[in-house]
Structure 1
Amino acid sequence: MPAVHPPLPPRDRARLLAGAHHDPHALLGAHPARGGTLIRVLRPLARGVAVGGTELIPEGDGLFAAVLPGAGAPPDRRLTVTYPDGTRLVTHDPYRFLPALGEMDLHLIAEGRHERLWEALGARPMTHEGVRGTRFTVWAPNARGVRVAGDFNGWDGTGFPMRSLGATGVWELFVPETGPGTRYKFDVCAVNGTHTLRADPLARAAECPPATASVVHESTYEWGDAEWMATRAERPPHRAPMSVYEVHLPSWRPGLTFRQLAVELTAYVRELGFTHVEMMPPAEHPYGGSWGYQVTGYYAPTARLGPPDDFKYLVDALHRAGIAVLIDWVPAHFPKDEWALIRFDGTPCYEHPDPRRAEHPDWGTLEFDYGRREVRNFLVANAVFWCEEYHVDGLRVDAVASMLYLDYSRPSGQWTPNAEGGRENWDAVAFLKEMNATVYRRCPGAITVAEESTAWDGVTRATEHGGLGFGFKWNMGWMHDSLTYMSKDPVHRPWHHGEMTFAMVYAYAENYVLPVSHDEVVHGKRALVSKMPGDWWRQRADHRAYLGFMWSHPGKQLLFMGQEFAQGAEWSEQEGPQWWVCDPGYVAAGDHLGVRRLVADLNAHYRAEPALWEQDSDPGGFSWVAADAAADNVLAFLRFAADGSPLLAVSNFCPLVRADYRLGVPAEAAAWTEILNTDATAYGGGGVVNGEPLKTEPTPSHGHPASIAPTLPPLATIWLRPA
């Protein structure tokens, strides 16, 4: 018979059963006692529990205990748990194990410097003290207690309270015999005693929405892109071609999984010649209509399209096809779903404690508290996570402007100035600098791109020189101005000519990407081709001419899906691109296929012509030829490769043919050949082309000692280079 054992003190018992005890391991498991070793187990709903053949004595409320003779725990510490229906479960006791999280991990977490945080927090399958199971860890600094609930315990976390690991705010529990595929949440007890079930902020996988549980994940994927990863840093990205196809994965071809996309998307992008794919946020998000921009699972690819290893398969397939992968990353805000990050432990953890700083006025979401080291660590590590674990080649950081300014979208009186009385959010600035510096240090060849729409100085300047440290910045000014110009009827364009030239005033202030993104083809803004004035022929011609201008302008290019074949309708995340307009049976299929053929040729010529990308960030790579031909609606400029090789780009945004239009060129070339013409019949144009090389004439023009006189097709862009 087991010896008489002392009962739990009433206060400890109450806290333990309420899920509000900071150290359940001090009460449960094996402990020295008078007459031997006290074993205490908490198994709600069990009829009986035995250890090493000895039945424990029921104490009520699912507690069982006994003092076994002899010092130390019995050799066989497994529990035999019997339930009222006769079911027997033989399992290891979670409370026999020492913490499975190391002191160095805790030290780095406390400092906010754990750059591989996902290896310390979350659910990690492992072998601990010779037993296979899963270590659950979570940061909840102000919780009274935290328990794990999931498949393995009938979603009743009463018998699985976690221990607090001191001042770090981290809670930990190793649960034997649980592994990949287990669904779980954290049962968090707030200071006021209320409980909420929370998804794991660092879950590596999640249930498919609308379900919200986290899922234990252990990757078994074997990468095939070793050569890509080893060599991607060899060419500086600013001196390399970069033509980006922006895609919303769930709607690109609705119904396709990550693995199916790996076949179809890869083949399509390779056929069109884009160098990069940019994916709208692939992280888990509960509301599909947010397009991924309201994230709840920062460390989990969305389960809508398949398990995490299948997302790796997609990235791997793109890499093996020579295509780089960028993802949209959303550190500016998070949604208010009560099972996710909001007031995670009953107090503001991830959001700012000042409601005026926490509430995002535009999107009904919450902003992160960038001044809190644990939050900054959560986000910086997340940026590294996608680059290291999923091999992505860069992050396009969403809504940077909303992070930089305390008064962003806030009227007077609704925001608090910084310590100097200004509007700059210095906590966010420090976070962005740390994130960029960390990504560039840890992930050779990876890039970061800021969606930033203001005149903040030094967005793409290195952090050591006082900048934010981004590699590139979206040129929202160029996008807005150029689309405004294109929306005007040609008769009115002369009065808007400066909107096409102004971007060159500041073109080298930052390293720019020229974006025609999803934001420009939704919410009443119309598809790109539908922004153009006039009838269908003129709209298509303008569309083609604009793409030719965009591809030749300094800066990298980004085009949203569907615009590469001039779909006429706005994008819908329910329907995706209008692929049917390219079907042979559609009456205008040839028109759309012609535009798609142009995009493929633009990309092919672009990649083959270093003049179009090698000096994007160098003023020596560009020279105006005709910047002031407003009355003619003509723009002409030279681009230069690093070795001085030129390319002449000319856009005629007037519906008239302009024959023998004289343009100054360098005298060194004897003749110039037209290599691209957006009016070619293959693209659906009228076929006004310069078929023969144009001889360079000793007639000075536009500040050059020589010139050529090409015919400019109506509403078209042409590219010429020395023959």
Structure 2
Amino acid sequence: MTARKPSRKPSDPIEVPPTAKPVTAEVTAAAPAATAPATGPADADAPAESAPPPPAKRVRARRTTAAGGTPPRPRRGGGSKNVLPATALDDADRGRLLAGEHHDPHGVLGAHPASGGVLFRTLRPHARSVAVVVKGKRAELQSDGDGFFSGVLPLSGVPEEYLLRVAYEDDTIEVEDPYRFLPAIGELDLHLIGEGRHEELWKALGSEPMEHKGVKGTRFTVWAPNARGVRVTGDFNYWDGTACPMRSLGSTGVWELFLPGVGEGAVYKYDICRPDGSHTQRADPMARSTEVPPATASVVTASHHEWQDADWMSHRGDRPVHEAPFSVYEVHLPSWRPGLSYRQLASQLPSYVRELGFTHVELMPVSEHPFGGSWGYQVTGFYAPTSRMGTPDDFRFLVDALHAAGIGVLMDWVPAHFPRDDWALAEFDGRPLYEHSDPNRAAHPDWGTLEFDYGRKEVRNFLVSNATYWCEEFHIDGLRVDAVASMLYLDYSREDGQWSPNEFGGRENLDAVAFLQEMNATVYRRNPGVVTMAEESTAWDGVTRATDHGGLGFGLKWNMGWMHDSLVYVSKEPIHRKYHHNEMTFSMVYAYSENYVLPISHDEVVHGKQALVSKMPGDWWQRRANHRAYLGFMWAHPGKQLLFMGQEFAQGAEWSEGHGPDWWLLDETYEASGDHRGVRSLVTDLNAVYNALPALWQRDTDPGGFAWIDGGAAEDNAFSFVRYDADGSPLIAVSHFSPVVRQDYRIGVPDGPQAWVEIINTDADRYGGSDVRNEGPLKPEAVPAHGRDTSITLTLPPLATVWLRPA
């Protein structure tokens, strides 16, 4: 533990009154001892954690044990003449403390009333001597061996304050005794943890710098119900947790210890004694900060960021998200501009996204993860932003900067699984804890990871609280929940015999359903204006239906069907597209069954799938033209939009987390840079018009906001439809996926407007197109077409999308 050196002259010895006589003292525990955890079957021992050895001056002498495993009673010695001797610590308590498996160290260490005064006992490995300092007076304790020191001081009562003066070979320090403090966690916290209903779990578990009983230090609390004992080990005790055993707080499974003098920046882990007596060192599941990978320890932290986004936070929920503009730029922070910190990103990313006109960014998982190649989807630190780019407050600074630019912040959240690293959550306390106890239920068949046990109330609480944590502590505006389908089905990627049906004989994971409903209900209740989104690839009914109507309660759902079908269509040669025409129209059959987002995400531009522009057929010009026409179709289609970084300027190569987007394609010294800058200009204009015209977003979930003009022009490779806002104002979109110009192309139009004007043409010269335009107003004629009384004729550019609005 961090300690302070004496700030005053050496203390005077405590004097014993003449009437005092030596006595033999029995220890009286300060609080009732909790029941020790039961032992269980032997578990495999984890690999030893490497740690710096203690300094030579404090090397602990090797302790011998008797044949029965109990250390022999050492010869006692030392101590002041004015300190009365105490009987040696009970062999059982002594052995359990040294083995790191004592459930109530506060009952035998610290200060306790005893016959003849107050008994003081401490465990200080490597110390040469220990003295108690009370009100400026000191008394040397006697050495009991193995780092134990004890003695009875002739005091009338247990002092409220005292210090331990600990002498090492060439250093002497004065420290507070951790074992004089009552628990620094409240009874209500423990009750809520036991009920699995603590919605601010991060304020009760983990490491919390605080002032407790007037003393500054850090409270450590961890949930480990199967452990025989838990100790805190870290850089403050030379990674030797012998002197820092934690106490069990009863049936909750929570262990607690307040360590005075330990503050922000301290690095630590928990040394857990498993049911079989073996030890494992684990990172804190509730750590709010971590070492930079590949280092794996947790870091004590506290936030000092002063938020500047009060106006944003108070107004972000003014309009329901499904009735608001919502276009998303998906970003992998470590590779957007490789090497930038959170604060450096804050000076570049907001201005770039704002210039493009996106309303939100979606950050691929920022929770701490050991392997960068997982892109953050195999999380070990659920409560810690990755330290690769800075501190948690640095991440807050980035979110604040995005809000200042008027940009909402969404974050990928991964409650479906976690990796098997032996320093993290897997068999955390020696038995399945966060994962399901049934190996078939625990093992994720696709990713080699472990699935959470959603039926366990404490695990469900850990995840529900985590969702609210990101929204409340980091002002995140939305959570995109990864891999929801893998959570909902017991037979997901499993063969017959590898899964068991639920209590009703079905394949639905009822525990996961209940968890998702509780998570969504809690997030929406506590955080007005926040949206949750599901990556759900099946036809599960009611993903975005309210929980009180039997739905899962998400605000939006990724439309994986639209993504798959539309990409199949545009990847075909134009001559073959007529045979796949329904791939582009089928989405409107179910468009209003859920509240949808249309995602062209990172998953579609990696692992051999090619970048978006490279999926397109034809030469380079045709590929870019297809790319632009597809984006125009996507932005006009009912639903919100999401585009992964690099696709906004038609990057031809697949994304790699190693180097990120090919920004050099936009460099004016590159011969074809104009092609890429043209596509980026199109995305900017699409967003500008989209944000300005409610017809494109106000009725995304209302069937009355859309009508086909001609959804069956398969021979023309053309699609035309109308979007309406709440007042009935229309916008027409025509997408043409043939590399030819179609003159005098007639489409029926809504009655009312006296003329229509072109506001977006993806074939415009400034976007890199052939500049086939519809100049001037297009006036309706009394010529019936497509079931409408009036129509217009226009020119369809090659491989292009055109938007028209009333003049």
TM-score norm. by structure 1 comes to 0.99
Q: Quick check: 1:685 aligned with 2:769?
A: yes
CA distance in 2, matches of 1:76, 1:722: 80
- Amino acid in structure 1 at the alignment position of 2:341: T
- Counterpart residue number, 1:28: 109
Q: Quick check: 1:9 aligned with 2:90?
A: yes
CA distance in 2, matches of 1:583, 1:233: 39
Q: How does 1:158-557 map to 2 (within 5 A)?
A: 158-557=242-641
Paired residues of 2:289 and 2:299 also in contact (CA < 8 A): yes
Post-superposition offset of 1:73: 2.8
Provide Cα deviations, 1:541-571, integer angstroms capped at 9, x if missing partner. 0000000000000000000000000000000
- Counterpart residue number, 2:758: 674
Paired residues of 1:371 and 1:427 also in contact (CA < 8 A): yes
Paired residues of 1:327 and 1:395 also in contact (CA < 8 A): yes
SS across alignment from 2:759: strand
SS across alignment from 2:742: coil
CA distance in 2, matches of 1:342, 1:54: 47
Post-superposition offset of 1:33: 1.2
Paired residues of 2:85 and 2:150 also in contact (CA < 8 A): no
CA distance in 1, matches of 2:728, 2:206: 54
Paired residues of 1:271 and 1:600 also in contact (CA < 8 A): yes
Quick check: 513-522 or 657-666, which moved more?
657-666
CA distance in 2, matches of 1:605, 1:353: 53
Q: Quick check: 1:651 aligned with 2:747?
A: no
Q: 1:713 aligns with which of 797, 800, 805?
A: 797
Q: How does 1:555-634 map to 2 (within 5 A)?
A: 555-634=639-718
CA distance in 2, matches of 1:57, 1:75: 22
Q: 1:70 aligns with which of 143, 155, 173?
A: 155
- Counterpart residue number, 2:784: 700
SS across alignment from 2:348: helix
CA distance in 2, matches of 1:591, 1:674: 22
- Amino acid in structure 2 at the alignment position of 1:119: K
CA distance in 2, matches of 1:112, 1:42: 35
Between structure 1 and structure 2, the one with the greater Rg is 2
Q: Quick check: 1:156 aligned with 2:237?
A: no
Paired residues of 1:207 and 1:213 also in contact (CA < 8 A): yes
Paired residues of 1:80 and 1:90 also in contact (CA < 8 A): yes
Paired residues of 1:28 and 1:41 also in contact (CA < 8 A): yes
- Amino acid in structure 2 at the alignment position of 1:603: N
Paired residues of 2:85 and 2:142 also in contact (CA < 8 A): no
CA distance in 1, matches of 2:600, 2:118: 70
SS across alignment from 1:685: coil
- Counterpart residue number, 1:79: 164
CA distance in 1, matches of 2:155, 2:161: 14
Post-superposition offset of 1:422: 1.1
CA distance in 1, matches of 2:570, 2:84: 89
Quick check: 672-681 or 692-701, which moved more?
692-701
SS across alignment from 1:604: helix
Paired residues of 2:399 and 2:409 also in contact (CA < 8 A): yes
CA distance in 2, matches of 1:73, 1:126: 24
Post-superposition offset of 1:32: 1.2
Post-superposition offset of 1:280: 0.1
- Counterpart residue number, 2:8: none
- Amino acid in structure 2 at the alignment position of 1:10: D
Post-superposition offset of 1:71: 2.6
CA distance in 2, matches of 1:123, 1:517: 36
Post-superposition offset of 1:89: 1.4
SS across alignment from 1:492: helix
CA distance in 1, matches of 2:159, 2:801: 84
Post-superposition offset of 1:696: 1.0
Provide Cα deviations, 1:565-594, integer angstroms capped at 9, x if missing partner. 000000000010000111111111000000
- Amino acid in structure 2 at the alignment position of 1:548: G
CA distance in 1, matches of 2:195, 2:165: 42
Provide Cα deviations, 1:329-352, integer angstroms capped at 9, x if missing partner. 000000001000000000111000
Q: 2:221 aligns with which of 130, 133, 137?
A: 137
Paired residues of 1:315 and 1:392 also in contact (CA < 8 A): yes
SS across alignment from 2:120: strand
CA distance in 2, matches of 1:352, 1:316: 38
Paired residues of 2:699 and 2:705 also in contact (CA < 8 A): yes
SS across alignment from 1:233: coil
SS across alignment from 1:135: strand
SS across alignment from 2:166: strand
CA distance in 1, matches of 2:744, 2:240: 82
Provide Cα deviations, 1:355-386, integer angstroms capped at 9, x if missing partner. 00000011110000000000000000000000
Post-superposition offset of 1:74: 4.3
Alignment gaps of 5+ in structure 1: none
Q: 1:47 aligns with which of 111, 116, 128?
A: 128
Q: Quick check: 1:59 aligned with 2:144?
A: yes
CA distance in 1, matches of 2:284, 2:161: 33
- Amino acid in structure 2 at the alignment position of 1:134: T
Provide Cα deviations, 1:483-533, integer angstroms capped at 9, x if missing partner. 000000000000000000000000000000000000000000000000000
Paired residues of 1:146 and 1:187 also in contact (CA < 8 A): yes
SS across alignment from 1:468: coil
- Amino acid in structure 2 at the alignment position of 1:33: A
Alignment gaps of 5+ in structure 2: 1-81
Post-superposition offset of 1:700: 1.0
- Amino acid in structure 1 at the alignment position of 2:83: P
Paired residues of 1:36 and 1:70 also in contact (CA < 8 A): yes
CA distance in 2, matches of 1:9, 1:621: 79
CA distance in 2, matches of 1:399, 1:543: 28
CA distance in 1, matches of 2:160, 2:645: 64
CA distance in 1, matches of 2:779, 2:129: 98
CA distance in 2, matches of 1:162, 1:696: 81
Provide Cα deviations, 1:210-262, integer angstroms capped at 9, x if missing partner. 00110000100000000000111111111000000000000000000100111
Provide Cα deviations, 1:132-167, integer angstroms capped at 9, x if missing partner. 110000000110000000111111110000000010
Paired residues of 1:40 and 1:65 also in contact (CA < 8 A): yes
Paired residues of 1:145 and 1:189 also in contact (CA < 8 A): yes
Paired residues of 1:51 and 1:76 also in contact (CA < 8 A): no
Post-superposition offset of 1:76: 5.0
SS across alignment from 1:596: helix
CA distance in 2, matches of 1:450, 1:606: 24
SS across alignment from 1:660: strand
SS across alignment from 1:504: helix
